[in-house]
Amino acid sequence: MDKNFINIGKAMFIGILAVSLAGCTIALYNRYPRDKARITELSSQLTEMEKIKAQETEELKQALAELQNKLKGEIDSKQVTVGMEDRGLVITFVDEILFDSGKTVVKSSAYDVLNRVANILKDNVADKNIGVEGHTDNVPIKYSGWKSNWELSTARATSVLHYLVDNCTIAPERLQATGYGEYRPVASNLTSDGRQKNRRVEIIILPKITKADLENLERQKRAAEAGEEPPVESGKHLK
């Protein structure tokens, strides 16, 4: 009798435990659903974004080849460099080709090279936005009247932006200008050669879809597959 009683008690305990665990599972399922429709949607978005990204990359490679051809003289003389980066297609000008020392007015001798770049911006990548960035070395401002290298770099970026809009008819809504001062060097400021490389203006042809966008969507897909809450989005995605 006692044995039967104990067995019945065990059976009841196991039954209660099973119901309890089932309830927890249902609660977790409701909170973090393995939503097949969501996974399918994210997979479709990721495939579409990868397709667009591949097409964009090919377009930027073609623009890169065109820039290398049109700017061959300046590239050979190390006044201009062009290259693909995660952030886009980057055209880098040493500051001497565009500006006199401490100045922000684009030199007339720079009009031709900027016009050649602008033609490619209009003809080859007309659907892409464009960033213009100003950079300096870390030598403090002494004589030019600017408060700091931030103001100088920002004014130079804006000056190039205005040239592209006013003289080359680039649509202003495609453009943005930023000054970073001395805080994004590409070389050591301990040598004159390094400081020259740091004094630069960059024109960046910006892709619509970045590597970070793809990585963010991939994280969302993995989270959905694992039944987890989706991560906070840091980039854009297709809708």
Which ranges of the chain does DSSP label H, i.e. alpha helix? 2-31, 36-70, 72-76, 95-98, 111-123, 149-166, 192-198, 211-225
In a domain, 155, yes or no: yes
In a domain, 111, yes or no: yes
Query: Which positions ≥6 away from 129 have C-beta within 8 Å?
Result: 174, 175, 176, 206
Do the strands 175-179 and 200-206 form a parallel or antiparallel pair, or are they unpaired?
Answer: unpaired
- CATH number of the CATH domain containing 81: 3.30.1330.60
Q: How far apart are CA 100 and CA 95, in angstroms?
A: 8
In a domain, 233, yes or no: no
Q: How would you label 54-85 residue by residue, b for 16+ Cβ within 10 Å and e otherwise? A: eebeebbeebbebbeebbeebeeeebbbbeee
pLDDT at 34: 53
Number of domains within the chain: 1
Query: Which positions ≥6 away from 18 have C-beta within 8 Å?
Result: none
| pTM (2 d.p.) | 0.79
In a domain, 89, yes or no: yes
In a domain, 202, yes or no: yes
**Segments forming the whole domain that contains residue 145:** 71-208
Burial of 53 (0-12, 13-18, 19+ CB in 10 A): middle
In a domain, 125, yes or no: yes
pLDDT at 232: 56
Q: How far apart are CA 2 and CA 70, in angstroms?
A: 96
Contact 43, 51 (CB under 8 A): no
Alpha-carbon dihedral of residues 188, 192, 193, 199, nearest 10 degrees? 80
Q: What is the pLDDT along the chain (239 residues), one digit of tens a residue?
A: 555 545 555 555 455 544 454 444 444 444 455 578 888 888 888 899 899 999 999 999 999 999 999 999 999 999 999 999 999 999 999 999 999 999 999 999 999 999 999 999 999 999 999 999 999 999 999 888 899 999 999 999 999 999 999 999 999 999 999 999 999 999 999 999 999 999 999 999 999 998 888 889 888 888 888 877 655 554 444 43
In a domain, 108, yes or no: yes
